[in-house]
Amino acid sequence: MQNINDFLLSIDIYLGGSQVFVFLLLGTGIFFTLYLGFPQFRYFGHATRVITGRYNKEGDKGDATHFQALSTALSGTIGTGNIAGVALAIYLGGPAALFWMLVTAIFGMTLKFVEVLVSHKYREFDEQGKVAGGPMYYMRKRLNIKLRNGKIIKTGYLLGGIFAVSTIFCSFGTGNLPQINSISSAMFSTFGINKMLSGGILAVLLGLIIIGGIKRIVKVTSKLVPAMAILYFIGAVAVLIHNYDNLLPAVGAIFTNVFTGTAAVGGFLGATVKFAVQKGVNRGLFSNEAGQGSAPIAHATARAHEPVSEGMVAILGPFIDTIIICMLTGLTILSSGVWLEKHENQFEPADTIILSGNYDDSNDADREKLSYFLNDEETSDLQRYTGKIIVLGGKIEDDITVINSRSVAEDVMVFNSDASIYSGTLICKSGNIDTRTAGVYLFGKSLLHSAPLTALAFTDSIFGKFGQYLVSFGLLLFAFSTAISWSYYGDRAVTYLWSAKYVTVYRIIYVIGFFFASFTDTTVIWTFSGITIVLMTVPNLLGILILSREVKSTIADYWRDFSDNFPGIKR
């Protein structure tokens, strides 16, 4: 698994880890925000009225109401990104990463508006009246190149195909694998439920739901989303009230480290500005999916006679998802202080690095060296260990340092897979121990990340240890609803590429992948996720940029028609 993760990381350096992607995503959001005159603020109030159905017309075509379409889109975005993803961003980039998540969301509101508008405008209906939409359809129709001699080069077909293929991969990378992996990890750490058992039960339930298609999906998600949001909100507010004296310092930490990076403090070994920006933007995009092109597939099902009103509704998505829920999660983690503390846990192989020599994170000089290694390993003087490791009575005898979850591990013990104490020799190559082949696992104190970190933060409230149950149950609802919605996105892409008769095959593979991901290495899954997000996002961003003038004229037409159809009503 470590070799797989290293391979994926070598790819991600040029994708999600690239500054080019950060500039493209934020740059597109900034461009449309300025070009359209800050629509995320100007149209926010109008969007809340549209979602109530106040401006609907009789005979509007579609499979869902505005609210159901938004719920389905939100169920696809409100998932592990809001619980595990926020914790991962803080663990990687410190509090400043939350700032960049917030920035991504603000400009993401505009991106959602634009991408949903364009995709809704070019959605299609089959002979049975069922709707199909998404960026692949506007790409196919509007991104062809017309030459002066009148000949048309069908580049739109190619771009639409690339986007559809990327959507299928991303349905696993975003909506499937990380969702069940986080659920099973939370259920195991909280209740001790076997990961394979959690995956098996939920895989069967997932299959029963997605077979029913979009109408069953919107019925389930429109009930799940409000319930899970309320439940999670109550738990988060309880933590903030309990730690009210730390709330203002937590908010301050988000903004004071934006341009300096987060210094090493507690078990956290620091993060550079570059790292905070990359991880904040990447986790922000994973959370709200703005610009990714997924939400337009759900919003295409909405009953609306024109596209702009549904674009308005989409503005609410990143606001609810990231600005409210993600920031609540972030503040609970920061105000509780658990992100700086080391806790007992079983080490994931992909999170563990063995260094040559003994380093102490309580020593300032060692902390600086370790921080430099974690942020820029290629130019660091520290070396990964290669050789044999002697273990006696579960304790490592060699002069090495175990890094787990970007922190110096303490009280490390080695156990056999049956939980008995291990004695013997382990082989370490380039800082990695193949613990699964050796039939052992490492246990000790280190920083936590992802869902376990958020669950720990929720215990620091009036609910005590029951707070972690709120996170586990909330994560179950959040992540499972995300998996449901993304199965629909994937089957729309399959339909676009090969026709509806292959959707059943896709759904079977989707459910099988869901099961196996429940007991797969967490770090590998998150790395794969970051790659698939970029593959889907880049063609969509380029597409809406090309159609920017059309977007502006379509909005102008909407307001003219609105004034004619609803005279005297304030926008």
In whole angstroms, what is the distance from residue 171 CA to residue 362 CA?
Answer: 43
Dihedral sign for Cα 436, 438, 441, 442, please. negative
- Regarding the domain with residue range 17-340+457-565, which homologous superfamily does it belong to in the CATH classification? Amino acid/polyamine transporter I (1.20.1740.10)
| Total residue count of the chain as it appears in this document | 571
pLDDT of residue 569: 66
| pLDDT exceeds 80 at position 380 | yes
pLDDT of residue 467: 82
Report the chain's mean pLDDT, rounded to a whole number: 84
Please enumerate in sequence order all residues whose Cβ is within 8 A of that of 40, keeping only pairs 6 or more positions apart, or say none.
Answer: 33, 106, 107, 109, 110, 113, 315, 319
| pLDDT exceeds 70 at position 101 | yes
Per-residue burial over 431-445, b = 16 or more CB atoms within 10 Å of its CB, e = otherwise = bbbebeebebbbbbb
pLDDT of residue 570: 64
* Burial class, 13, CB count within 10 angstroms (exposed 0-12 / middle 13-18 / buried 19+): exposed
pLDDT of residue 128: 63
pLDDT digits (tens, 9 = 90+) for 284-309: 766 777 888 888 888 888 888 788 98
In whole angstroms, what is the distance from residue 108 CA to residue 467 CA?
Answer: 31
* Burial class, 18, CB count within 10 angstroms (exposed 0-12 / middle 13-18 / buried 19+): middle
β-pairing, 343-346 with 152-153? unpaired
pLDDT digits (tens, 9 = 90+) for 154-209: 888 888 999 999 999 889 988 888 888 888 887 887 788 888 999 999 999 888 88
* Burial class, 157, CB count within 10 angstroms (exposed 0-12 / middle 13-18 / buried 19+): middle
Please state the rounded mean pLDDT for residues 48-60.
80
| pLDDT exceeds 60 at position 16 | no
Q: Three-state DSSP class for 266? A: coil
Task: Please count the other Cβ atoms lying within 10 Å of the Cβ belonging to residue 562.
Answer: 17
Higher pLDDT among residues 446 and 150, named by residue: 446
User: Taking a C-beta distance cutoff of 8 angstroms, is the pair 466, 201 a contact?
Assistant: no
Higher pLDDT among residues 239 and 190, named by residue: 239
Token look-up 């499972």 returns 480
Token look-up 């709120």 returns 470
| pLDDT exceeds 70 at position 424 | yes
pLDDT digits (tens, 9 = 90+) for 430-454: 998 878 778 899 999 999 888 788 8
User: Taking a C-beta distance cutoff of 8 angstroms, is the pair 451, 80 a contact?
Assistant: yes
User: Taking a C-beta distance cutoff of 8 angstroms, is the pair 72, 255 a contact?
Assistant: no
In whole angstroms, what is the distance from residue 270 CA to residue 46 CA?
Answer: 43
pLDDT of residue 154: 82
Please state the rounded mean pLDDT for residues 42-71.
81
Structural domain spans, the chain: 17-340+457-565, 343-446
Higher pLDDT among residues 143 and 261, named by residue: 143
pLDDT digits (tens, 9 = 90+) for 455-508: 888 888 888 888 888 877 777 877 888 888 888 889 889 989 988 888 899 999
Phi, psi (deg, nearest 5) at residue 451: -55, -40
Helix residue ranges, H only, 44-154: 44-50, 66-77, 80, 86-93, 96-121, 135-142
